[in-house]
Amino acid sequence: MIRLLLLTLLATPTLADEIWVTNEKDDTISVIDTATLEVTRTIPTGERPRGITFSHDYSRVYICASDSDTVQVMDPATGEILHELPSGEDPEQFVLHPDDKHLWIANEDDAVTTVVDVDSRKVVAQINVGIEPEGMGVSPDGAIVVTTSETTNMAHWIDTRTHQIIANTLVDSRPRHAEFTASELWVSSEVGGTVTVFDVATKAEKAKIRFAIPGVNDDLIQPVGFEFTPDQSTAFVALGPANHVAVINMQTHEVETYILVGRRVWHMAFNRDHSQLFTTNGVSGDVTVIDVASRSALKSIKVGRFPWGAAFRPTE
């Protein structure tokens, strides 16, 4: 079955797209070829690379080098560091604004969110938020950025025009990741073990998603990264040391199934047609490839130590 699928993939005219994975404890990026599902390149980075995202035209890749206190800008074709951006201390995660010009960065050690202009390479604003900011989400229209703070247990809603906090909403313990849909904000809480869904218009809590896996203790179910399918019908949520990814129906907010992946699953990225999902597994040091249609794991790919972030790169 697996072999057949692989053969099918190999038979497809190869686009040679890539998934880029940051290895937190190796100071490298592993580049996975989405056709062969092999690591084709390992690229050195600054210290403790975590968040990773591409510019809209994929000509640049931004990397949070947390312990180097900088965001590195790399040419993805050559792996060369073009320059560094002033990121504030200990950048962990960021989100690129729809304007393709402003990076919104969570400075984990500093309790601030930093806004950097990627062209002028200047800090535009710093906004005081809660302790240990991490999750960063931007609304599709670019009007609102949300920072979640792990120790303050809040989602801070920031007006991107004025750089002012317009609302603070409590979430469950240790929020890690935030993503907007067209009308909702989703926030995962690692220790609380939940995903909270907010209505963006009212900023009121709309649903709370809980998880239960037979044979896995509740306190090991720790939601972290998640991704939505483009039609916003299905969400995939990484559950950390529970070693599973939950599949959620986004209309009913019900969990439909759980997929067993590697150990301490953290973040994830889709391939070009969203038929495959690549999850980073921190403790086992590998990436699990999930077949989205059948909701099953296809393959594990060995990468570096403590793979953290993942991002898709088309190569043509």
Sites of contact with other proteins (CB under 8 A) = 108-109, 111, 128, 130-132, 149-154, 156, 168, 170, 172-174, 190-193, 217, 219-220, 241
- Name the residue nearer to other proteins (CB basis): 18 or 108: 108
- Name the residue nearer to other proteins (CB basis): 102 or 264: 264
Q: How far is the CB of 304 from other proteins (least distance, A)?
A: 17
Beta bridge partners of 124: none
Residue 268 and residue 270: Cα distance in Å, rounded?
A: 7
Q: Determine contact, residues 137/178, Cβ cutoff 8 Å.
A: yes
Q: How far is the CB of 212 from other proteins (least distance, A)?
A: 15
Place of tokens 């390149």: 41
- Name the residue nearer to other proteins (CB basis): 34 or 280: 280
- Name the residue nearer to other proteins (CB basis): 2 or 212: 212
Residue 65 and residue 24: Cα distance in Å, rounded?
A: 9
Q: How many CA atoms lie within 13 A of 127 on its CB side?
A: 26
Neighbours of 138 (CB within 10 A): 23
- Name the residue nearer to other proteins (CB basis): 33 or 110: 110
CB crowding 222-251: b at 16 or more within 10 Å, else e: bbbbbbbeeeeebbbbbbbbbbbbbbbebe
Neighbours of 180 (CB within 10 A): 20
Q: How far is the CB of 129 from other proteins (least distance, A)?
A: 8
Q: How far is the CB of 47 from other proteins (least distance, A)?
A: 13
Residue 229 and residue 70: Cα distance in Å, rounded?
A: 31
Q: Determine contact, residues 76/313, Cβ cutoff 8 Å.
A: yes
Q: How far is the CB of 268 from other proteins (least distance, A)?
A: 20
Q: How far is the CB of 111 from other proteins (least distance, A)?
A: 6
- Name the residue nearer to other proteins (CB basis): 154 or 259: 154
Place of tokens 């940051």: 22
Q: Determine contact, residues 247/230, Cβ cutoff 8 Å.
A: no
- Name the residue nearer to other proteins (CB basis): 174 or 313: 174
Q: Determine contact, residues 132/145, Cβ cutoff 8 Å.
A: no
Q: How far is the CB of 180 from other proteins (least distance, A)?
A: 21
Place of tokens 């019908």: 233
